[in-house]
């Protein structure tokens, strides 16, 4: 009986894996076409100064609406694109859309804010990464202070030569932030060695169960550390008023989260900004 149950379990598991592989295959089959069809869209989520509710920046977040499969979440397709390398092209596509938006605003003399763009770790293995970045920035004539690159924290744990790359990016005028700080690979060493401009505290950190107040103490220390190191600090995933109050009480003044605004289409974002 037990063996039978075991078998059934095994089959179920295989079926699920097969479904998963099929889904991946489907996504891979349509990703190139999706770029050409303009199915990828850039959404923007504003970042706020909590003290005065001013928008101080925004993060560009990719969205995919496929003609056959509908809406797909970045949480699903980004890991697949990181496996097959397509993320390198997609990130540059997102960057170009952001630059087009900024160029238009600048030409019309309209208000702009710094936009942060997520960068996959795969870029760091590309020889011409910085040249490509600079080329695009020059092509659209985007001022340096309007561009920020978000590097996820896991990059720092997994790559040896990262501090060299960070120095190069800084020397080329890129404003840098560590994304998802505290999500699992944090290393204080990283803070010691690497000249990053901003720490983004991961949303899971803030939303975790906190009966003993330990999370709050840890966040408070991280904020102090960032201040001592002259880094800016922002918290993502701020959903509730009491979280915003707590953050301000410990000296973290910037937030990104549903409490303030969800990621939104470009038109909506530009309207909000104006």
Nearer to ligand C2E (CB atom), residue 93 or residue 140: 93
Report the 3 state secondary structure along the chain: CHHHHHHHHHHHHHHHHHHHHHHHHHHHHHHHHHHHHCCEEEEEEEEEECCCCEEEEEEEEEEEEECCCEEECHHHHHHHHHHHCCHHHHHHHHHHHHHHHHHHHHHCCCCCCEEEEEECHHHHHCCCHHHHHHHHHHHHCCCHHHEEEEEEHHHHHHCCCHHHHHHHHHHCCCEEEEEEECCCCCCHHHHHHCCCCEEEECHHHHHCCCCCCHHHHHHHHHHHHHHHCCCEEEEECCCCHHHHHHHHHCCCCEEECCCCCCCEEHHHHHHHHC
Q: Hunting for tokens 């694109």 — which residue is that?
A: 81
Q: Work out what residue 57 binds among Mg ion, ligand C2E, none; the CB cut-off runs from 5 to 8 Å by kind.
A: none
| Among 195, 159, 191, 197, residue whose Cα is nearest residue 176 | 197
| Distance between CA atoms of residues 20 and 173, nearest Å | 41
Chosen residue from 258, 265, 271, 272 binding ligand C2E by CB under 6 A: 258
* Minimum separation from the CB atom of position 74 to Mg ion (A): 10
Please calculate the CA angle 203-142-146 and round it to the nearest 5 degrees: 30
* Minimum separation from the CB atom of position 149 to ligand C2E (A): 10
Stretch that binds ligand C2E, among 19-27, 102-110, 209-217, 255-263 (CB under 6 A): 255-263
* Minimum separation from the CB atom of position 52 to Mg ion (A): 23
Site for ligand C2E in 36-75 (CB under 6 A): 45, 61-62, 73-75
Chosen residue from 46, 57, 182, 263 binding ligand C2E by CB under 6 A: 263
Nearer to Mg ion (CB atom), residue 31 or residue 155: 155
Q: What mask, x for binding Mg ion by CB under 5 A, covers residues 133 to 172?
A: -----------------x----------------------
Q: What mask, x for binding ligand C2E by CB under 6 A, covers residues 211 to 250?
A: -------------------------xxxx-----------
Greatest CA separation found in the chain?
A: 75
Nearer to ligand C2E (CB atom), residue 62 or residue 101: 62
Nearer to ligand C2E (CB atom), residue 15 or residue 76: 76
* Minimum separation from the CB atom of position 265 to Mg ion (A): 18
Q: Work out what residue 153 binds among Mg ion, ligand C2E, none; the CB cut-off runs from 5 to 8 Å by kind.
A: none
Site for ligand C2E in 8-37 (CB under 6 A): none
Site for Mg ion in 167-186 (CB under 5 A): 179-180
Contact 32, 66 (CB under 8 A): no
Applying CB under 5 A, the residues found at the interface with Mg ion are 118, 150, 179-180, 236
Applying CB under 6 A, the residues found at the interface with ligand C2E are 45, 61-62, 73-75, 78, 87, 91, 94, 118, 120, 150, 152, 179-180, 203, 236-239, 256-258, 263
């Amino acid at each position: 009986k037990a063996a039978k149950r075991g078998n059934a379990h095994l089959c179920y598991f295989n079926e699920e894996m097969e479904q998963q592989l099929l889904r991946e295959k489907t996504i891979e089959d349509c990703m190139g076409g999706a770029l050409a069809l303009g199915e990828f869209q850039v959404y923007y989520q504003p970042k706020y100064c909590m003290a005065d509710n001013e928008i101080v920046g925004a993060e560009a977040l990719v969205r995919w609406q496929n003609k056959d499969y509908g809406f797909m979440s970045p949480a699903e397709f980004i890991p697949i694109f990181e496996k097959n390398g397509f993320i390198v092209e997609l990130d540059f596509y997102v960057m170009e859309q952001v630059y087009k938006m900024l160029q238009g605003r600048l030409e019309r003399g309209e208000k702009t804010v710094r936009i942060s763009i997520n960068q996959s770790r795969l870029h760091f293995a590309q020889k011409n990464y910085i040249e490509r970045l600079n080329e695009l920035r020059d092509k659209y004539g985007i001022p340096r202070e309007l561009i920020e690159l978000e590097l996820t924290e896991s990059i720092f744990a997994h790559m040896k030569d990262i501090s060299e790359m960070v120095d190069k990016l800084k020397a080329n005028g890129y404003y840098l932030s560590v994304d998802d700080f505290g999500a699992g690979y944090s290393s204080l060493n990283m803070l010691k060695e690497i000249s990053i401009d901003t720490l983004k505290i991961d949303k899971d950190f803030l939303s975790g169960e906190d009966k003993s107040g330990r999370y709050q103490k840890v966040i408070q220390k991280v904020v102090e550390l960032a201040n001592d190191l002259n880094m800016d600090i922002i918290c993502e995933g701020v959903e509730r008023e009491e979280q915003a109050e707590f953050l301000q009480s410990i000296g973290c003044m910037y937030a990104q989260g549903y409490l303030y605004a969800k990621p939104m289409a470009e038109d909506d974002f530009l309207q909000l900004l104006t």
